[in-house]
């Protein structure tokens, strides 16, 4: 899902636009620095990410009939995420919720890497992305059997979204 619905406000001749968008991934692995044991990851299914980013046009260079060059400043992308299911050994689940449940104090960045992607044909989804300022805001259901924990309908928010993937 990629929706771009700019909301424009002219401030002292400068154009401020709220850019919005989103993407979904069928299956991803997520981890963070400090996870124990190192190299572990949680398996997450049906992830939806929605973001908003402010973009401010400072000025344009060039004449009207020709193509203009434009200097813009973009704020970091903020938004919400949700997952249908999070699957991990009980020990990793406890670490995850201790690290990202409120109140959080500078939690480490959460890295997501796709295993497979669901995407509309007209929209490319990053194969890897990182969220900073992550906070889990809700869990619909949790079940633990022996050493495996499954959480259903997990949702959260973030204050920075980055993608090293150039797609």
pLDDT tier for residue 19 given thresholds of 50, 70 and 90? confident
- Burial of residue 46 (CB within 10 Å: 0-12, 13-18, 19+) is middle
The DSSP element (H or E) to which 95 belongs, if any, is: helix 90-100
- Taken in order 59, 62, 64, 70, the sign of the CA dihedral is negative
Q: What is the mean pLDDT of the chain?
A: 81
| Structural domain spans, the chain | 22-50+80-162
pLDDT in tens, 57-111: 666 666 666 666 767 777 888 999 999 999 999 889 889 999 999 887 889 999 9
Q: Give the pLDDT score at 124.
A: 55
Residue 90 main-chain phi, psi, to 5 deg: -50, -40
Instruction: Report residue 34 as tokens.
Output: 């400090």
Least confident of 44-48, 109-113, 114-118: 114-118
66-93 exposure pattern, b = at least 16 Cβ within 10 A, e = fewer: eeeeeeeeeeebbbebbbebbebeeebb
Give phi and psi for 99, each to the nearest 5.
Answer: -75, -40
The tokens describing 52, both together, are 């908003």
């Amino acid at each position: 899902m990629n929706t771009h619905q700019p909301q424009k406000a002219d401030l002292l001749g400068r154009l401020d636009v709220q850019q919005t968008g989103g993407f979904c991934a069928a299956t991803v692995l997520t981890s963070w620095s400090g996870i124990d044991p190192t190299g572990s990851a949680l398996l997450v299914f049906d992830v939806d990410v929605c973001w908003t980013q402010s973009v401010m046009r400072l000025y344009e260079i060039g004449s009207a009939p020709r193509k203009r060059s434009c200097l813009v400043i973009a704020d970091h992308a903020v938004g919400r995420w949700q997952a249908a299911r999070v699957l991990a050994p009980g020990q990793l689940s406890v670490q995850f919720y201790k690290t990202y449940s409120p109140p959080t104090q500078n939690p480490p960045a959460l890295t997501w890497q796709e295993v497979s992607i669901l995407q509309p044909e007209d929209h490319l989804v990053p194969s890897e992305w990182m969220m900073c300022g992550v906070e889990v805001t809700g869990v619909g259901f949790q079940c633990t059997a022996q050493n495996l924990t499954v959480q259903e309908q997990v949702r959260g928010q973030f204050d920075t979204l980055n993608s090293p993937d150039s797609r």
